[in-house]
């Protein structure tokens, strides 16, 4: 995070020295490194991101984004607290503080999104952008249920959840960042996205927030006539 914030500070400090853009590429492909966090589940994961966009106006592009993050790609692991699960009332009723139960898991997360991206092209070397987030999220999780929890559920006649879970649902959010121009066809992108969704509603009671940081090269070609 510190290098990312330092780069942001340096680039914004240099903005007044840049001239406004006049030569705008029509097509952009971004591919880079992802770092994902979900505070509610103490989840941290790493993976990759691919984004393709078509610029239709100097201030607007339409594109699609795909990312794969987690244990199956690089690494992703977290913990689920008992207070966040549908079993919290059951634990409390049997004298077990729900907050004392923490279940570890590993997961792989895929996101798919499409929509507009809005640009601010006031400077020649740096392009700011903002995008709404709307798409689908798919996650596969391997959950390490404590043996004592499984024993309690069995005694109470409650089915023990499958330790291998998968779910797909919609998400919404916001994102933005900036591109640094290295040449007419190559640049570097720094981006951050926040999304909100409700995965594994059969086990988890609350919605989840995800924050994703991305950095990597952009490749551009074509010319926008305007």
Establish if 14 belongs to a structural domain: no
Q: Give the count of domains, the chain.
A: 1
Measured between alpha carbons, how far apart are the two ends of the chain, in Å?
38
- Give domain status of residue 11, yes or no: no
Owning domain of residue 142 = 26-221
Asked if the structure places residue 65 within a domain, the reply is yes
pLDDT digits (tens, 9 = 90+) for 146-203: 888 888 888 878 888 999 999 999 999 999 999 999 999 999 999 999 999 999 999 9
- Assess if residue 59 is contained within a domain: yes
Beta bridge partners of 104: 79, 144
- In which residue ranges of the chain is pLDDT below 50? 2-6, 9-18, 72-75
The confidence score (pLDDT) of residue 70 equals: 66
Tell me whether residue 16 is in a domain: no
CATH code of residue 175: 2.40.160.20
Residue 5 placed within a domain: no
pLDDT for 163 equals 92
136, part of any domain = yes
């Amino acid at each position: 995070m510190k290098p990312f914030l330092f780069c942001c500070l340096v680039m914004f400090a240099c903005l007044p020295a840049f001239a406004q853009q006049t030569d705008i590429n029509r097509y952009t492909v971004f591919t880079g490194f992802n770092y994902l966090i979900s505070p509610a589940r103490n989840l941290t994961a790493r993976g990759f991101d691919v984004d393709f966009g078509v610029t239709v106006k100097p201030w607007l592009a339409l594109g699609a984004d795909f990312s794969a993050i987690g244990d199956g790609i690089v690494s992703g692991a977290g913990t689920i607290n008992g207070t966040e699960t549908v079993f919290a009332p059951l634990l409390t009723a049997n004298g077990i503080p729900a907050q004392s139960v923490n279940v570890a898991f590993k997961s792989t997360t895929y996101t798919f999104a499409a929509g507009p991206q809005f640009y601010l092209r006031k400077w020649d070397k740096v392009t700011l952008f903002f995008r709404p987030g709307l798409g689908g999220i798919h996650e596969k999780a391997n959950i390490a249920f404590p043996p004592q929890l499984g024993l309690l559920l069995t005694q109470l006649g409650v089915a023990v959840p499958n330790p291998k879970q998968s779910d797909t649902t919609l998400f919404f959010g916001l994102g933005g960042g900036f591109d640094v121009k290295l040449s007419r066809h190559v640049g570097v992108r720094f981006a951050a996205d926040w999304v909100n969704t409700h995965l594994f509603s059969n086990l988890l009671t609350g919605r989840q927030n995800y924050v994703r940081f991305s950095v990597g090269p952009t490749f551009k070609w074509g010319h926008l006539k305007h």
